[in-house]
Chains A and B, each alone.
Chain A
Amino acid sequence: MERDSERIRSFTRRAVMVGMLQGGLMGMLGLRLAWLQIAQGQKYRMLAENNRISIKLLQPTRGLILDRNGRRIAVNDQNFRVILIPEQTDNIMAALNTLKNYIELDDRDIQRVLKQAKKQASFMQVEIRENLNWDEVSAVEVHLPELPGISIDEGEIRTYPLGEATAHITGYVGAVSEQTDDPLLKQPGFRIGKAGIEKTFDLPLRGKAGTAEIEVNVVGREVQELNRYNSTPGKTVWLTIDAELQTYAQQRLSQEQSASAIIMDAKTGAVYALGSWPAYDPNAFSRGLPANEWEAMRNDPRHPLNNKAIGGLYPPGSTYKIATALALLEAKKINRSSTAFCPGHFELGTTRFHCWKKQGHGAMNVVSALEQSCDTFFYKHAIELGIDTLAAYSRQLGFGGKLGFEMSEESPGIMPTQAWRKAKFGESWQPGETIVASIGQGYTIATPLQLAVMTARVVNGGYAVRPWITAGIEGEPEIVRNWPSLGFKKENLAIVMQGLEAVVNSRQGTARASRIEDPLFAMGGKTGTAQVRKITREQRASGITEDKLPWHLRHHALFVGYAPLSDPRYVCSVVVEHGGGGSAVAAPVARDLLLAAQKRNPAAPIVRG
Chain B
Amino acid sequence: MSQAFGMNSSQTVGQKLQQMNWGLVILISIVACTGFTALYSAAGGSFDPWASKQMVRFGAGVAGMMIIALIDIRFWHRIAYPAYGAGIILLIINETMGRIGMGAQRWIDLGFIQLQPSEIMKLALIMALARYFHALNIEDIRKIRFLILPALMILLPVGLVILQPDLGTAMVTALGGIGLCFVAGIPMWIFMAGGALAAAAIPVLWMFVFHDYQKQRVMTFLNPESDPLGSGYHIMQSKIALGSGGIGGKGFLQGSQSHLDFLPEKQTDFIFTLFAEEWGLTGGLFLLTTLGLIMLYCGWVAFRCRQDFGRLLTFGLMINFSLYIIINIAMVTGLMPVVGVPLPMISYGGTSMLAVLAGFGLVMSCNIHRDSKIARS
Could you tell me which A residues sit within 8 Å of B by CB distance?
3, 6-7, 10-12, 14-15, 17-19, 22-23, 25-26, 28-30, 32-34, 36-38, 40-41, 43-45, 47-48, 51-52, 215-219, 223
> A41 CB to closest chain B CB, in angstroms?
4
Could you say which residues of chain A place their CB within 8 Å of the CB of B340? Answer: none
Could you say which residues of chain B place their CB within 8 Å of the CB of A219? Answer: 261
* Inter-chain contact B335/A32, CB cutoff 8 Å: yes
> B222 CB to closest chain A CB, in angstroms?
17
> B189 CB to closest chain A CB, in angstroms?
14
Chain A residues touching B, majority SS:
helix
* Inter-chain contact A29/B179, CB cutoff 8 Å: no
Could you say which residues of chain A place their CB within 8 Å of the CB of B280? Answer: 37
**C-alpha spacing A32/B285, complex, angstroms:** 11
**C-alpha spacing A223/B260, complex, angstroms:** 8
**C-alpha spacing A37/B245, complex, angstroms:** 6
> Which of B239, B244, B315, B326 is close to A15, meaning CB atoms less than 8 Å apart?
B315
* Inter-chain contact A30/B183, CB cutoff 8 Å: no
Could you say which residues of chain A place their CB within 8 Å of the CB of B284? Answer: 30, 33, 37
Could you say which residues of chain B place their CB within 8 Å of the CB of A38? Answer: 246-247, 281
* Inter-chain contact A37/B243, CB cutoff 8 Å: yes
Counting chain B residues whose Cβ lies within 8 A of the other chain, the interface size class is 35 or more
B317-336: CB near A (< 8 Å → 1, else 0) gives 00100100110011001110
> B239 CB to closest chain A CB, in angstroms?
6
* Inter-chain contact A32/B261, CB cutoff 8 Å: no
> Which of B179, B184, B257 is close to A51, meaning CB atoms less than 8 Å apart?
B257
B278-318: CB near A (< 8 Å → 1, else 0) gives 00110011001001100100010011000010011001000
> Which of B138, B182, B262, B288 is close to A18, meaning CB atoms less than 8 Å apart?
B182
B224-264: CB near A (< 8 Å → 1, else 0) gives 00000000000001011111111100000000110011100
Q: Which of A14, A18, A36, A41 has the most CB of B within 10 A?
A: A36
* Inter-chain contact A217/B261, CB cutoff 8 Å: yes
> Which of A15, A18, A36 is close to B303, meaning CB atoms less than 8 Å apart?
A15
Instruction: Say whether, besides A22-B295, A30-B288, A33-B333, A48 and B241 are in contact (CB < 8 Å).
Output: yes
Given A22-B322, A29-B335, 20 further pairs, Cβ under 8 A: A10-B185, A11-B315, A18-B182, A18-B315, A18-B319, A23-B292, A26-B288, A26-B322, A32-B335, A33-B276, A33-B285, A33-B288, A36-B242, A37-B245, A38-B281, A41-B246, A48-B241, A51-B262, A52-B260, A215-B256
**C-alpha spacing A588/B257, complex, angstroms:** 76
**C-alpha spacing A11/B302, complex, angstroms:** 10
The 7 A-B residue pairs whose C-beta atoms are closest, nearest first, are A44-B243, A48-B244, A217-B260, A218-B261, A10-B185, A37-B281, A14-B183
Q: Which of A26, A29, A41 has the most CB of B within 10 A?
A: A29
Could you say which residues of chain B place their CB within 8 Å of the CB of A26? Answer: 288, 291-292, 295, 322, 325-326
Instruction: State whether the Cβ of B137 lies closer than 8 Å to any Cβ in chain A.
Output: yes
21 pairs, A vs B, C-beta closer than 8 Å: A3-B137, A7-B138, A7-B185, A10-B185, A11-B315, A14-B183, A15-B302, A15-B303, A22-B326, A26-B295, A26-B322, A30-B285, A30-B288, A33-B276, A36-B239, A37-B280, A40-B243, A45-B243, A215-B260, A218-B260, A223-B260
**C-alpha spacing A436/B330, complex, angstroms:** 94
* Inter-chain contact B256/A37, CB cutoff 8 Å: no
* Inter-chain contact B260/A36, CB cutoff 8 Å: no
**C-alpha spacing A474/B371, complex, angstroms:** 96
With both beta carbons as reference points, the residue of chain B lying nearest to A36 in the complex is identified as: B243
* Inter-chain contact B183/A18, CB cutoff 8 Å: yes
* Inter-chain contact B260/A37, CB cutoff 8 Å: no
* Inter-chain contact B261/A41, CB cutoff 8 Å: no
Could you say which residues of chain B place their CB within 8 Å of the CB of A223? Answer: 260
**C-alpha spacing A18/B243, complex, angstroms:** 30
Could you say which residues of chain A place their CB within 8 Å of the CB of B281? Answer: 33-34, 37-38
Could you say which residues of chain A place their CB within 8 Å of the CB of B288? Answer: 26, 29-30, 33
With both beta carbons as reference points, the residue of chain A lying nearest to B276 in the complex is identified as: A33
Chain B, range 51-92, C-beta contacts under 8 Å to A: none
> B175 CB to closest chain A CB, in angstroms?
11
Instruction: Say whether, besides A32-B335, A37-B247, A37-B281, A14 and B303 are in contact (CB < 8 Å).
Output: no
> B194 CB to closest chain A CB, in angstroms?
15
Could you say which residues of chain B place their CB within 8 Å of the CB of A19? Answer: 295, 299
**C-alpha spacing A19/B256, complex, angstroms:** 37
**C-alpha spacing A19/B315, complex, angstroms:** 10
Could you say which residues of chain A place their CB within 8 Å of the CB of B299? Answer: 15, 19
With both beta carbons as reference points, the residue of chain A lying nearest to B238 in the complex is identified as: A36
Could you say which residues of chain A place their CB within 8 Å of the CB of B308? Answer: 7, 11
With both beta carbons as reference points, the residue of chain B lying nearest to A6 in the complex is identified as: B138
Could you say which residues of chain B place their CB within 8 Å of the CB of A11? Answer: 183-185, 308, 311-312, 315
With both beta carbons as reference points, the residue of chain A lying nearest to B245 in the complex is identified as: A37
**C-alpha spacing A217/B308, complex, angstroms:** 54
> A44 CB to closest chain B CB, in angstroms?
3
With both beta carbons as reference points, the residue of chain A lying nearest to B243 in the complex is identified as: A44
* Inter-chain contact A25/B326, CB cutoff 8 Å: yes
> B2 CB to closest chain A CB, in angstroms?
30
> B289 CB to closest chain A CB, in angstroms?
8
**C-alpha spacing A219/B242, complex, angstroms:** 20
* Inter-chain contact B319/A12, CB cutoff 8 Å: no
* Inter-chain contact B244/A41, CB cutoff 8 Å: yes
> A23 CB to closest chain B CB, in angstroms?
7
> Which of B240, B325, B330 is close to A48, meaning CB atoms less than 8 Å apart?
B240
**C-alpha spacing A19/B325, complex, angstroms:** 14
B86-106: CB near A (< 8 Å → 1, else 0) gives 000000000000000000000
* Inter-chain contact B246/A45, CB cutoff 8 Å: yes
> B43 CB to closest chain A CB, in angstroms?
15
* Inter-chain contact A37/B246, CB cutoff 8 Å: yes
> Which of B183, B240, B260 is close to A44, meaning CB atoms less than 8 Å apart?
B240
> B248 CB to closest chain A CB, in angstroms?
9
* Inter-chain contact A29/B243, CB cutoff 8 Å: no
* Inter-chain contact B276/A37, CB cutoff 8 Å: yes
* Inter-chain contact B138/A48, CB cutoff 8 Å: no
* Inter-chain contact B179/A41, CB cutoff 8 Å: no
B177-191: CB near A (< 8 Å → 1, else 0) gives 001001111000000
Could you say which residues of chain B place their CB within 8 Å of the CB of A48? Answer: 240-241, 243-244, 256-257
Could you say which residues of chain A place their CB within 8 Å of the CB of B246? Answer: 37-38, 41, 45
Could you say which residues of chain A place their CB within 8 Å of the CB of B241? Answer: 44, 48
> B318 CB to closest chain A CB, in angstroms?
8
Could you say which residues of chain B place their CB within 8 Å of the CB of A28? Answer: 335
Could you say which residues of chain B place their CB within 8 Å of the CB of A52? Answer: 256-257, 260, 262
> B323 CB to closest chain A CB, in angstroms?
9
Could you say which residues of chain A place their CB within 8 Å of the CB of B245? Answer: 37, 41
With both beta carbons as reference points, the residue of chain A lying nearest to B233 in the complex is identified as: A218
**C-alpha spacing A28/B336, complex, angstroms:** 13
With both beta carbons as reference points, the residue of chain A lying nearest to B296 in the complex is identified as: A19
* Inter-chain contact B183/A32, CB cutoff 8 Å: no
* Inter-chain contact A10/B303, CB cutoff 8 Å: no
> A17 CB to closest chain B CB, in angstroms?
8
Could you say which residues of chain B place their CB within 8 Å of the CB of A3? Answer: 137-138
With both beta carbons as reference points, the residue of chain B lying nearest to A46 in the complex is identified as: B244
* Inter-chain contact A15/B183, CB cutoff 8 Å: yes
> B195 CB to closest chain A CB, in angstroms?
14
Could you say which residues of chain A place their CB within 8 Å of the CB of B240? Answer: 44, 47-48, 51
* Inter-chain contact A33/B242, CB cutoff 8 Å: yes
**C-alpha spacing A11/B318, complex, angstroms:** 14
Chain B, range 13-42, C-beta contacts under 8 Å to A: none
Q: Which of A25, A33, A218 has the most CB of B within 10 A?
A: A33
Could you say which residues of chain A place their CB within 8 Å of the CB of B330? Answer: 25, 29, 32
* Inter-chain contact B242/A37, CB cutoff 8 Å: yes
Could you say which residues of chain A place their CB within 8 Å of the CB of B329? Answer: 29
Could you say which residues of chain B place their CB within 8 Å of the CB of A32? Answer: 330, 333, 335
**C-alpha spacing A589/B25, complex, angstroms:** 104
Could you say which residues of chain B place their CB within 8 Å of the CB of A10? Answer: 138, 185
> A51 CB to closest chain B CB, in angstroms?
5
Q: Which of B184, B240, B281 has the most CB of A within 10 A?
A: B240
**C-alpha spacing A204/B256, complex, angstroms:** 40
